[in-house]
């Protein structure tokens, strides 16, 4: 196991112990892990030099699927709901991806935003099916066969969030280092050369897009279960913007970056809101400017630079 994965595991276990011993931290930590997964989805696209301002739609789709199934099929286990919610996002990602991968850069970003806003509007208008702007309640399901009270359910979700996050970091990092992942990163620097090697850049980007939709879907399923409610706001463009913010904050050089960014973002938001309730967004904005200016590769870029310096490569 690589050093980065060992550090991530130790940090994940430490956060888990902290969350379980300080109950008020449970939900912020679960949300951080959800944000981390979704931001990693954006990170996959960033590696290809693309950005999406609409990926919250995939978290929203899975959240609604979880809410709908939890109400209409009461016997379904929470683990199965997470899987089905994620699969729904993957399925929509495959369809939407087939269309948007024909475009690049700002057109790619804005098309995703436009599609997400169509979904947002549909969810708000079709009250009979979606609950309109009030959204849908998520009925607390069993988790791995266990009937749990609210507190135990949150604890179990935190454990699950940590395990899933570590699995996602490991799996996505392997993908980043694989042939497909390295070829995806090559789209950013030279799509022409890829085509002249006989490789379809569109297919590579589509694969990355489906992965990113799946990651956002996984985040949305967990988010829905932890919040007990899903609303169209989950798919609003501001939420997509938050994912982008976190992905840039953490950096896309390593899969762990998104989670570092998510933890920083969640706690920065929490404390900024407590300190300057009327202007907390300003603190977030300044943080982003500082990161972009001084750490263009995000926080994880800082760590890799330090490692290089320690090895004497720099």
Partner 1 sequence: MSALLKTEGLTLAFGGLVVANGIDFELHEGERLAVIGQNGAGKTTFINICTGLLRPSAGRVEFDGVDITGKSPRHIVRRGMARSFQLPQLFLDHSVRQCLELAGMARQSRMPWWRSLASSADAREVDRVLELVNLRARQHEPASNLPEGQRKLLDVAMSLMLEPRLLIMDEPTSGVSSEEKHGVMEIVMGALEEKKVTAIFVEHDVDIVRRYATRVAAWISGGIAADGSPDTVLADANVRREVLGE
* Residues at the interface with partner 1 (CB under 8 A): 174-175, 177-183, 185-186, 188-190, 192-200, 204, 207
Cα of 16 vs its chain's centroid, Å: 19
Nearest approach, Cβ of 215 to partner 1 (angstroms)? Answer: 14
Nearest approach, Cβ of 7 to partner 1 (angstroms)? Answer: 20
Nearest approach, Cβ of 262 to partner 1 (angstroms)? Answer: 24
Q: Smaller CB distance to partner 1: residue 105 or 195?
A: 195
Phi first, then psi: give them for residue 229, nearest 5 degrees: -155, 140
Q: Smaller CB distance to partner 1: residue 194 or 255?
A: 194
Nearest approach, Cβ of 186 to partner 1 (angstroms)? Answer: 4
**With contact defined as beta carbons under 8 Å apart, do 66 and 84 qualify?**
yes
* Residue 194 to residues 29, 174, 177, 211, Cα–Cα distance (Å): 40, 21, 17, 20
Nearest approach, Cβ of 164 to partner 1 (angstroms)? Answer: 19
| DSSP assigned state of 296 | T
Q: Among candidates 49, 96, 142, which has minimal Cα distance to 235?
A: 96
Entry field: residues in the chain: 314
Q: Smaller CB distance to partner 1: residue 114 or 180?
A: 180
Q: Smaller CB distance to partner 1: residue 44 or 248?
A: 44
What whole-number distance in Å separates Cα of residue 154 and Cα of residue 227? 10
Q: Smaller CB distance to partner 1: residue 185 or 268?
A: 185
Q: Smaller CB distance to partner 1: residue 71 or 179?
A: 179
Question: Residue 192 half-sphere exposure, CB side, CA atoms within 13 Å?
Answer: 0
* Residue 88 to residues 41, 77, 172, 204, 271, Cα–Cα distance (Å): 15, 16, 20, 21, 35
Nearest approach, Cβ of 295 to partner 1 (angstroms)? Answer: 17
């Amino acid at each position: 196991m690589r050093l980065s994965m060992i550090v991530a595991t130790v940090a994940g276990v430490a956060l888990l112990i902290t969350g379980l011993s300080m109950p008020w931290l449970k939900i912020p930590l679960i949300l951080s892990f959800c944000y981390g997964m979704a931001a990693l989805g954006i990170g996959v696209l960033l590696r290809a030099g693309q950005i999406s301002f609409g990926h919250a739609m995939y978290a929203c789709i899975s959240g609604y699927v979880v809410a709908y199934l939890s109400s209409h099929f009461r016997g379904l286990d929470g683990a199965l709901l997470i899987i089905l919610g994620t699969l729904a996002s993957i399925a929509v990602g495959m369809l939407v991806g087939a269309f948007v991968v024909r475009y690049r850069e700002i057109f790619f970003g804005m098309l995703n935003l436009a599609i997400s806003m169509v979904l947002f509007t549909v969810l708000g208008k079709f009250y009979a099916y979606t609950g309109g702007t009030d959204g849908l309640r998520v009925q607390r399901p069993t988790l791995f066969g266990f009937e749990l009270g609210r507190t135990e359910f949150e604890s179990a979700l935190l454990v699950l969030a940590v395990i899933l996050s570590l699995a996602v970091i490991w799996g996505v990092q392997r993908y980043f280092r694989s042939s497909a992942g390295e070829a995806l990163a090559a789209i950013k620097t030279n799509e022409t050369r890829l085509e002249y090697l006989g490789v379809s850049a569109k297919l590579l980007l589509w694969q990355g897009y489906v992965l990113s939709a799946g990651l956002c879907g996984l985040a949305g399923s967990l988010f829905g279960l932890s919040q007990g409610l899903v609303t169209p706001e989950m798919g609003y463009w501001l939420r997509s913007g938050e994912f982008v913010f976190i992905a840039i904050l953490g950096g896309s050089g390593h899969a762990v970056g998104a989670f570092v960014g998510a933890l920083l973002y969640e706690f920065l938001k929490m404390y900024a809101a407590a300190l300057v309730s009327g202007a907390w967004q300003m603190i977030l904005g300044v943080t982003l400017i500082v990161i972009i200016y001084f750490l263009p590769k995000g926080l994880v870029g800082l760590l890799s630079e330090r490692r290089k310096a320690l090895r004497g490569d720099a």
